[in-house]
Amino acid sequence: MNPPASPGADRSPDPYLPEHGNGGYRVLHYELDLDYRVVSNRLAGKAIVTARAVQPLSRFSLDLAGMRVQGVRVDGRPASFDHRRGKLRIKPERPIGYGVTFKTEIRYGGKPAPVSGRWGDIGWDELTDGVLVASQPNGAPSWFPCNDRPDDKAAFLVRFTAPSPYTVLVTGDLVSRRRGAGSTTWVYERDEPTAPYLMSVQIGRYDLVELAAGGVTQRAAITPRVRHAFRHDFGRHGEIMTALERLFGPYPFHEYVVVVTDDELDDPVEAQGMAVFGRNHVDGRRTHERLVVHELAHQWFGNSLTVADWRHIWLNEGFATYAEWLWSEVSGGVPEHVHAARWHAWAAAQPATVVVGDPGVDKMFDPRVYKRGALTLHALRVRVGEQAFFALLRSWVAEHRHRTVTTAQFRAHAARFTTAPLDDLFTAWLDRPVLPPPPRLL
């Protein structure tokens, strides 16, 4: 057995999930060749991970859970490895120098299963007849070897072979589809830098339909049983896309795909250029339209702009929640300030135990992070005024497109759009657990 990796090589700097992610290199590109059998839930894979060393490496590690590794090669040469407890530790035949780009080929296979943890089962999940992959925050290693940290964004090429009766959707642009004897190979490419947790695979007996017409390609994968209700519930999606582009700037990817599984889901989930809903989210009454808006907003906040580490999750969830309130107002529903007042009253009735800007790993998905994060934006809008607020939102999105972001960066960015001090506002709303009073509308 190899000696343990040097300190930090198999740990992430993320204080919330230090065991997920690795140091010493940054990934540039993933190439995945996958062959899947739905009935037996068997996956055979080859991954080629192209990375650049950011320090001299005598060994390094990747995250991979539950699979059996058959072999590893680094720059074409066999490498020794140790795979246990979700870490694939690799010792190349020759050390890798600082700044050198290197390729690691991993052949692996097995029965993929979700990663179990404090949030339940995350990652590869079998449906009644198909597969759903929802990896936030730590489920990506359930199906491919990766550097599982949100700040290591890379490009992807995925070739996925599955039985022909099934539609396979992977986050990315469809490059080709080749049908063979009983199976079909789907090839998807994702050029935009993408965090591993935002890569997804959806497999099912889906019909592909147009979601909305317009400048952005918008498609949906649905089952026949929801077709009629879906047409109504998602009937305003083109208008929602137009509204969010006007508020936040151009949609950051080539297309947007909505998947409605034939199973029920507790919550919808977003991936890069994709959102997944359960059939229970489609009822023919637009009951869940706010969730449609929320998941689409994540394409700007979370996917194009990705948190540098999980302390900053309010930059994803607070912004997507605020988008719900904005859509309500622009679509003729309840005004934004009424939503803010209602949710402030709700937050006032909750225990003051969450610091929005650094909630801690146990509370990173707490509803108070979502709602108080949105209230922070409402308070900022009141303080700086309409024109400056939306200008700073659009420039925030544009300047950090396809990059990673932190709360400190957002605070500094907002300060550029007003002569009024903002430190007191951000300190009260983001750094302290006590809920500030509602901002006074001018």
Q: Which residue has the tokens 């991993």?
A: 106
Average pLDDT over residues 257-266: 96
In this predicted structure, what is the pLDDT of residue 4?
36
Q: Which CATH number fits domain 25-122+136-196: 2.120.10.30, 1.20.58.220, 2.60.40.1730, 3.30.420.40?
A: 2.60.40.1730
Q: What is the pLDDT of residue 207?
A: 96
Q: Choose which CATH entry (3.30.930.10, 2.40.50.220, 1.10.390.10, 2.30.40.10) describes domain 307-431.
A: 1.10.390.10
Percent of the chain with pLDDT over 70: 98
68: three-class secondary structure by DSSP: strand
Provide the residue ranges of all domains of the chain, joining segments of one domain with +: 25-122+136-196, 207-299, 307-431
Answer yes or no: is pLDDT of 442 > 60: no
Q: Which CATH fold would you assign to the domain 207-299?
A: Zincin-like (3.30.2010)
Q: What is the reported pLDDT for 441?
A: 73
298 is in an annotated binding site: yes
Predicted pLDDT at 2:
39
281 is in an annotated binding site: no
Kindly report the average pLDDT of the chain as a whole number. Answer: 96
Summarize the confidence of residues 401-427 as an average pLDDT.
97
> What are the tens digits of pLDDT across the range 276-312?
999 999 999 999 999 999 999 999 999 999 999 999 9
| pLDDT for the residue numbered 214 | 83
Model confidence at 415: pLDDT above 80? yes
- What does the radius of gyration of the chain's CA atoms come to, in whole angstroms? 22
Residue 8: its pLDDT value, please?
58
Catalytic residues: 295, 370
Residue 65 has pLDDT above 70, yes or no: yes
Give the pLDDT mean for 33-56: 98
Phi, psi at 162, each rounded to 5°: -150, 165
Q: Is 294 annotated as a binding residue?
A: yes
The mean per-residue pLDDT over the stretch 321-345 comes to: 98
Residue 9 confidence (pLDDT): 75
The whole-number average pLDDT for the span 200-217 is 95
Given a cut of 60, is residue 161 above it in pLDDT? yes
Does residue 426 register a pLDDT over 90? yes
Q: Indicate the pTM of the whole model.
A: 0.96
**pLDDT, tens digit, 9 for 90 and up, residues 70-79:** 999 999 999 9
Residue 122 has pLDDT above 90, yes or no: yes
SS (H, E, C) the chain: CCCCCCCCCCCCCCCCCCCCCCCCEEEEEEEEEEEEECCCCEEEEEEEEEEEECCCECCEEEECCCCEEEEEEECCEECEEEEECCEEEEECCCCECCCCEEEEEEEEEECCCCEEECCEEEEEEEECCEEEEECCCCCHHHCCCECCCCCCCEEEEEEEEEECCCEEEECCEEEEEEECCCEEEEEEEEEEEECHHHCCEEEECCEEEEEECCCCEEEEEECHHHHHHHHHHCCCHHHHHHHHHHHHCCCCCCEEEEEECCCCCCCCEEECCEEEECHHHCCCCCCCHHHHHHHHHCCCECCCEEECCHHHCHHHHHHHHHHHHHHHHHCCCCCHHHHHHHHHHHHHCCCCCCCCCCCCHHHCCCHHHHHHHHHHHHHHHHHHCHHHHHHHHHHHHHHCCCEEECHHHHHHHHHCCCCCCCHHHHHHHHHCCCCCCCCCCC
Give the pLDDT score at 10: 82
